[in-house]
Structure 1
Amino acid sequence: MFRTRQLLTGLAMASLVVCASIGTASAAEASPVAVAVVTAPAPVPTRAPSIVGVLRVGSPSKIDVGTWSGTLPTTTFTCQWLRDGIEDGPAGSCKTTRSFEARDIGHQFTVRVTVAGAGHETATAITKVVQAYGGPPAVNTVLPTIDGTAEVGSVLVVATNGEWSPTPATFTYSYKWLADGIFIDSEISSTHRVSSTDVGKRLSLQVAASRPGYQFGYAISVSTTPVPKMAAPANTVRPVVTGTAQVGTTLSASPGTWSQPGLTFAYQWYANGTSIPQATASTYQVDGSLLGAKLAVRVNATSPLYADASATSLVTSVVTVGPRPTNTTLPALSGTAQVGEVLTVTTGTWSAPGLTYAYAWYRDGVVITGAASSSHTVSAADTGHRLTAQVTVSETGYNTATATSAPSATVTAAAAAK
């Protein structure tokens, strides 16, 4: 008896035929015996498949199927593109390239690689997700230009959109205006009317060049010169000085009336046409040195939007002397009214500061010759009399004023020597 076995491993179809001859049995009596097919495990990726290249409109991408273990000569690779997880088109060869369209922008793509073949199980692997982007942006080769005068009320317009590549592509242009490099809200047309908010700023234009499926390209024109201030405001009612032109009084100035709002005012006072140092407030207390002068005030009007302007008030009448200071507390004597002793007088209290004081001593109301200081040494001639002191106050530009102390006790003779 004999048995023949044939075993083919790794093939899609395998067979085992057993033939037996027992005794004189003929070969015709031999019958085939079916045996189960032996299939190899599915291939395993040792390097994952991937999409090669950036997914951009106009730029084809390839598929790298990766590296697999357990493949056979009969193994085939089939690739299926998926768009947002849904099959996009039929499966096909993994060696073909794919071009992307505008409709693909923003969507996510993967490729499912299927590995099949006689003799092993089928395997699949999916690439990492890749997002599709627009094609490369247009490149500006010559800057855009603007036309018009950069002054309030004028209109600036797009003179040229500049030049862009690639050529001869057709581009669509959109615009944004800038002031000192900052986009101006809502200014997105091909024109810009210069407004007061643009004063002092340099204006420029951004041009965006686009075409379907491609990223925007941007270019900014050369800036204008700074937008100048508008014409100076007109003074329609001159400044007015109120108050009495008298030493010691305070004068006030109103700025007058002007043709434009929002102005800032500064003041300078003048005496006989000459500026008074440090007199730069809207009020001024008349100094005694200005007695006999005529005063005026100049108002300077400034604004970020308008050129500077000034206006001067009419002059005041001649500055007259100030009122007499008022004594509020009489001068007071101190000391002993006795021959040889010293009497002293205080200045008293007055309504005005910064006064100059002068003194005179009196004997029963008669001035004592040479007694002109704040103290007096009692002499024998004063015996039997009562003494008083008069204080005279003065200040430049003011009338003088006097006040007299209460009289002393009757002066007594000097004490007898012991």
Structure 2
Amino acid sequence: MSLALLGSGAAALPEPASAAVPSSVRGEISAQTPTLSGTLCVGRTLTAKPGNWLPSERTLSYQWLRNGRGIQDATGRDYTLATADLNTKISVRVRGDLEGSDSVERTSLEQHVAPCAIVPTRALVIAGAAKHGHKLRADSKWPAGVVTTYAWYRSGKAISKATKPWYKPTIKDIGRTITVKVTATKSGYTTYKTTAKAVKISKGSFRVMSAPKVSGTKKATHTLKASRGSYSPKPTSYSYQWYANGKKIKGATKSSYRLSGSQIGKRVGVKVTAKKAGYSSYAMESSAYKVGKAVFKLKTRPKISGTKKVGHTLKASKGTYSPRPTSYSYQWYRNGSPIKGATKSTYKVKLADEEYDITVKVKAKRTNYTSNYSISSRVYIPYDYSSDWEDDDDYGFSGGYSGYNGPRCYAPGGRTYTPC
């Protein structure tokens, strides 16, 4: 009798050929030789096929044999092969009993139980990103009870202590091929070895946690500072390049940059490049900001000096600023209203200024700076009674010569006057 081989490498018992039904007479049992059905593999179940036994009133019992000796408690029509059956010969003895007749026994041919092959239920592959810093995993699936061991290889050579189902490539692996060999074992089965398709390891890549940012006053003469942003893993070094309207600013390669007048009106930002051994450098740009003119810092306000009387000259100090302006302009005010033509650093007090407050606004100027206006404290121009003179009491007027605009006559205590 020949055995057919299954795809798993296990031997399968052939179906028994049909045989003529034996004749029998009353009181006698006629029997056929039993056969086995199933796969000769540890853990698989064999079934006894007794064939045709006559008469139909007979009863059948079974005893499974290992190397011709009965197996304890193996008395059913089915028998599951155990580890002890490996490399032995298995058969089954069938006994027929009929009242009033002698018992009849028939034994099947012995079948050799050889180790069966292990077949993975999912083929072995390497899962995960083939990059430095990322974890690779030996991905496969096996039948129940299979024990697997692992060995990782770099360019065909075993990697020391790399015997787990996963492996994390190092800098040494960059540009080289990595594979894994899996050995599968199970009692009663032949050892199964398989190797995954190799993968080539490239440099690792950063994962951006937050983008770089620019802090500081976005105005000429002020210094901007770049934050690095954050990455995973943490870089070991950074490089910087500042840009104005998308073009590199020559020499601006530090984490800070002092804005100049040439950047006014332009949008300035920075590109930060993160670096680490074994990782591809990663460059990321910050938001860009429009640069405005610088602003003076006022240190002291302008002041008005001089005699506060009609005909006398008042003088405005410039005030002090940081940085120092390169030019100034002036505007004098009477009770908050600009005095026409009064645009110099000095102002001669007029008759119309009496009993009013005088102030001066100084405008500081410098290239690349927003002009700064600063207003002095108020000075009061009092009425000058020293030049008054008495007129006829009948009219109730007083008057005098001011020496500035000819004689005039005032109502007592008032500001209204008429020519005298």
TM-score class, shorter-chain normalisation, is 0.3 to 0.5
More strand, by proportion: 2
Q: TM-score, normalised by structure 2?
A: 0.40
Q: TM-score, normalised by structure 1?
A: 0.41
